[in-house]
Amino acid sequence: MRKTFLFLLMTILLMLSACSSGKVTKNADHTNKEQGEELNLAFSTWVGYAPFYIAEKKGFFKKNGVKVNLTRVENTSDRLSAMVANRIQAVGGTVDSYVTAASKGIDFVQVLPTEDSNGGDGIIAKKEFNSLQDLKGKKVAVQTDGGASLFWFNYLLQKEGMTMDDFDIQSMSSGDAGSAFVANKVDAAITWEPWLTNAKNTDFGKVLMTSEETPGIITGTIAMRKDYVADNPKQVQAFVDSWFEAVEFYKNNEDEAITIMAEALGQTDKEFKESIKGVSWYDHKKAAEFFGTKENTGQLLELLKAASDIWLEQGIIEKEPKVEELVDYSFIK
């Protein structure tokens, strides 16, 4: 019996030794290296990011070799704070918002453009006003503490040789601005859907102009922590490739894609189709044109520089960041 016990003991020890051998450990390390760290991505409840749900549902992330956790965080500053704390490694936001983040010392790079507002944002005004010049001295509602609406408004004003001092500015969020206009409390508002449609449905209001007239100016991109990008280049590439695959799936399988995205955002297919009328998702070709390359930069760097100038002028930032360091061109090939 003692010999039997010793035999069993030796067998167990040999098995344990085999399990902890260099060969097994090497395989485990290899697997971890290939899979990389999980990528936690946060963005707002905005239809521009909806193709990520296609990539998740259709298994594009998994097929391409990256594990992505999608989460919705509505406030931009909350998303950036979570990225600083490394609770998430990637965020979705508009180009202008990253200039503000960089001025605070947040270390990130943009790796992928997702969409631009193609009529989803706009200026609503009373019917008697036909231009920005007509609105001089009038009550104009706009969010003044940063954000895409303020950036876009100032971009338009620069083109007209105007400043915000030319108006009686009413500071409020973009949603509240639209609501205030529909309630006939202001002469104009910089806002987005559904307030553009709501303004047209009043007996006194109209849409003065929309982002369709300024393609690419209000553009969403994905930014990632620099250390994650440096440590996981294969996973970043897989993530970017999965986005393009999802956009192509939408082009070729629109009905199924609409259902996937609508369900993820808690909308009916009909509601979702309406909500994306003012959005243009970036496929590979459009993304490459927008990003450009390090040697031949595209519209993205121009926008970053414009946002930096505008935010300095508005007092949103105190120091101009090195905007050329906010882009990694290597994943849009």
Residues 202-247 have pLDDT tens digits of 999 999 999 999 988 999 999 999 999 999 999 999 999 999 999 9
Mean per-residue pLDDT for 182-198? Answer: 94
- Whether residue 279 has pLDDT greater than 50: yes
Whether pTM exceeds 0.85: no
Q: Confidence band (pLDDT; 50, 70, 90) for 9?
A: very low
CA 301 to chain centre: 16
Q: pLDDT at position 36, please?
A: 58
- Whether residue 44 has pLDDT greater than 50: yes
Specify the DSSP class assigned to residue 212.
G
Dihedral-angle region of residue 65 (phi above 0 means left; psi in -120 to 50 means alpha; beta otherwise): left
Residue 124's nearest CA partner among 212, 214, 187 is 187
Domains and CATH numbers, the chain: 37-118+218-331 (3.40.190.10), 121-213 (3.40.190.10)
Q: What are the pLDDT digits (tens) for 50-101?
A: 999 999 999 999 999 999 999 999 888 899 999 999 999 999 999 999 999 9
CB atoms within 10 A of CB 34: 10
Q: pLDDT at position 327, please?
A: 97
Average pLDDT, the chain: 88
- Whether residue 7 has pLDDT greater than 60: no
How many Cα atoms sit within 13 Å of 85 on the Cβ side? 7
Q: pLDDT at position 131, please?
A: 97
Q: What percent of the chain is helix, strand and coil (3-state, nearest 5)?
A: 55, 20, 30
Q: Confidence band (pLDDT; 50, 70, 90) for 19?
A: very low
| Four-CA torsion 228, 217, 149, 200, nearest 10 degrees | -130
Q: pLDDT at position 31, please?
A: 31
- Whether residue 28 has pLDDT greater than 90: no
